[in-house]
Homo-oligomer: A and B are copies of this chain.
């Protein structure tokens, strides 16, 4: 088995399961322990995984990470619904900020094509935006390998060049007491900054995000309007007392 092929197998396994034992790699590839060790060392150097005693683990440790399958299909429909509504809020002449992330990404296909300016920290959005012929600006800064997002001190400084009519953010947790949270401190700071530069801010959060708390706080609930697709009567009232909330139903 060729080296890159083994690497691919290893990465695939680590993608499916956050912790994999060395022996499992050996069984899956047929290579020797030594070889797998070498592979893991290389892959760690390239920041694709983290070696731990006994094997390797996935690098991105998002608290409450939904499984890949879950992310793709059912959740996707929710995301699209929310994204479509969010996009409808954008008017010609607006300058908007689009956060990195999959939910926000779904907005792009629904954006008006004429006369809007988009600023983003998400490299993954650029291609789509350009294809639609939308004028777009990237903020500068460190490129985070795992998410292809731009973060860091430079990103925050870079953001300060801009002001936004509207700002659209994805988050990992929405909590009535702890506000909006996300697993990465640096990303949280970028979101925070973007939020502070916008006249109106919107949080795109599907139903799975509610009552969740992740590591780093972005802001209190009142700093933005929540867009979601489904919410218990009870929760709705609870959150609505703190901030605006729009439940998209179709």
Contact = CB atoms under 8 A, between A and B. Distances in A.
A131 B57 contact: no
Given A46-B132, A127-B63, A52 B4 contact: yes
A138 B140 contact: yes
Nearest to A139: B140
Interface in A1-33: 2-5, 8, 18-19, 21
Interface string A127-165: 101111101111111110100101010100110010000
A30 to B, nearest CB: 14
B138 A126 contact: no
A220 interface: no
A157 B3 CA distance: 43
Given A19-B2, A19-B5, A52-B2, A45 B133 contact: yes
Contacts of A142: 135-137
A107 to B, nearest CB: 17
Nearest to A137: B142
How often does this chain occur in the complex, in copies?
2
A186 B127 CA distance: 21
A124 B161 contact: no
A57 B2 contact: yes
Contacts of A4: 19, 52, 57
B127 A52 contact: no
10 contacts: A2-B19, A5-B19, A46-B133, A123-B126, A137-B143, A138-B150, A140-B141, A140-B161, A157-B161, A158-B158
Given A46-B133, A123-B126, A139-B140, 10 more contacts: A2-B19, A2-B55, A3-B54, A4-B57, A5-B19, A47-B133, A130-B143, A130-B145, A130-B148, A154-B158
